[in-house]
């Protein structure tokens, strides 16, 4: 199957707009991706044809909504190769998924137990474990990275011990683009009997996520990072782990029996899904997965690598630019600093030229302190970006450099 980026872009209405009379060059995909028309249509169709609450309605609209909603769970389960559909838990996104696991872990940890994370964590995969450890009197350990942004795997393995109860790490760093060897490190963590959670927020949109092959216990991701709506995501967990995991939210749908004195919980996935869910979001996520799955994954990955290679080549030739994050295995992210310029100023000047990037600490303040910088300017690429847009980025950076000199 061939890959035609021009035809692909036509499926994204927002990519046709202009900013201050200039074509939009959207390079903030690590923050959120744009949505194809197929996803927008699926959401509109739900709201205009079968908007109703799921599971309990005694009418046709509720039945139709339930079938679409639960069908979306099947779609996610298939996409990540879950062993059973019950292992897919709907959340509002990666952050809620991590918090669900961390809240339960805080009740299972004790003094002397340890949780291991890395220096490259997004706050969502750091602060949650800090809180769980503080609640339980456990210890949080941090695996270091190398100066190029690559995880120090030898140090990571050295920090594992019989006291390690859970390991949490990103599939891909949002700030650096570093791809971690999650399968190999999961195997190491399993040698000491630890649970493993993978933050897949940045990994899910690049395809080929197979949770059974990875061997982890939990994989969390957000729909909006992979062409779906905001406010929807999924926590995948092994059924053997989730079926006894402490509940977090309580209320409707997740119960089995309630009296005025006590309550018992239902079975998976209901026991971890309290309240009315984001039905339209789940349907939109399924539409995004179906749309993405119909594309040639290998061709898309080749295209993304070509974009990043071009960006790196031009960055190395750009006087006064310092790249932040140059690990051998990385995807989709070009974080950088311009000599003598604050990232916020760079971002402002680029925006006036129609180019959308991210500036700041990328929700990774400890990582920025480790690297000795206040933050970065970050361009992040997706499958609908073009080589011409990479060129436009550097043309705009030349203008920014002149203005900020």
CA torsion 254-258-264-270 (nearest 10°) is -10
Count of residues making up the chain? 405
Inter-axis angle of helices 37-49 and 279-293, nearest 10: 140
CA torsion sign, 170 to 213 to 185 to 115? Answer: positive
For residue 269, say if its preceding peptide bond is cis, omega within 30 degrees of 0: yes
Q: Beta strand pairing status for 139-143 and 164-170?
A: unpaired
Report yes or no: 360 and 344 within 8 Å, Cβ to Cβ: yes
Which residues are within 8 A (CB) of 118 and not within 5 positions of it... i.e. 6 or more apart? 142, 143, 144, 145, 151, 156, 169, 170, 180
Distance CA 152, CA 390 (A): 31
Catalytic annotation, pick one of 50, 133, 216, 363: 363
With tokens 């044809």, the residue in question is 49
127 by Cβ neighbours in 10 Å (0-12 / 13-18 / 19+) ranks as middle
Q: How many CB atoms lie within 10 A of CB 24?
A: 16
With tokens 């202009």, the residue in question is 18
Distance CA 257, CA 226 (A): 37
Report yes or no: 320 and 338 within 8 Å, Cβ to Cβ: yes
With tokens 């990571």, the residue in question is 156
In the annotation, is 363 catalytic?
yes
Report yes or no: 159 and 152 within 8 Å, Cβ to Cβ: no
Cα 198 from chain centre: 10
Which residues are within 8 A (CB) of 157 and not within 5 positions of it... i.e. 6 or more apart? 185, 188
Active-site residue numbers? 363
């Amino acid at each position: 199957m061939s890959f035609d980026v021009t035809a692909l872009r036509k499926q994204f209405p927002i990519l046709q707009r202009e900013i201050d009379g200039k074509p939009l060059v959207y390079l903030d995909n690590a923050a959120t991706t744009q949505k194809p028309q197929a996803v927008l249509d699926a959401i509109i169709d739900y709201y205009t044809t079968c908007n109703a609450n799921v599971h309990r309605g005694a009418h046709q609209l509720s039945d139709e909504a339930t079938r679409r909603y639960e069908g979306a769970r099947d779609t996610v389960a298939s996409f990540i190769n879950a062993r059973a559909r019950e292992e897919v838990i709907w959340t509002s996104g990666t952050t809620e998924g991590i918090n669900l696991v961390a809240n339960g872990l805080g009740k299972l940890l004790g003094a002397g137990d340890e949780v291991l994370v890395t220096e490259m964590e997004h706050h969502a995969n750091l602060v949650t474990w800090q809180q769980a450890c503080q609640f339980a009197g456990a210890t949080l350990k941090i695996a270091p990275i190398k100066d190029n942004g690559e995880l120090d795997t030898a140090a990571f393995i050295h920090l594992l011990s019989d006291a390690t109860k859970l390991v949490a790490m990103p599939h891909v760093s949002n700030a650096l683009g570093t791809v971690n060897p999650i399968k190999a490190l999961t195997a190491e963590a399993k040698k000491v009997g630890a649970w493993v959670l993978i933050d897949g927020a940045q990994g899910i949109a690049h395809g080929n996520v197979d949770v059974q092959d990875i061997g982890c216990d939990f994989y969390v991701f957000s729909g909006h990072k992979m062409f779906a709506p905001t406010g929807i995501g999924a926590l995948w967990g092994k059924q053997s782990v989730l079926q006894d995991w402490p509940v977090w939210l309580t209320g409707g749908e997740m119960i089995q029996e309630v009296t005025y004195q006590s309550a018992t919980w239902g079975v998976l996935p209901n026991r971890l899904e309290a309240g009315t869910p984001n039905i339209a979001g789940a349907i939109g996520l399924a539409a995004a997965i179906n749309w993405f799955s119909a594309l040639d994954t290998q061709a898309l990955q080749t295209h993304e690598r070509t974009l990043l290679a071009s960006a790196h080549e031009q960055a190395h030739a750009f006087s006064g630019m310092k790249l932040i994050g140059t690990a051998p295995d990385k995807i989709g992210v070009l974080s950088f600093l311009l000599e003598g310029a604050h990232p916020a100023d760079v971002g402002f000047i680029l925006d006036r030229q129609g180019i959308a990037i991210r500036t700041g600490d990328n929700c990774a303040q400890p990582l920025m302190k480790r690297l000795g910088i206040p933050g970065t300017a970050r361009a992040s690429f997706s499958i609908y970006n073009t080589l011409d847009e990479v060129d436009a980025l550097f043309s705009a950076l030349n203008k920014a450099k002149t203005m900020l000199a």
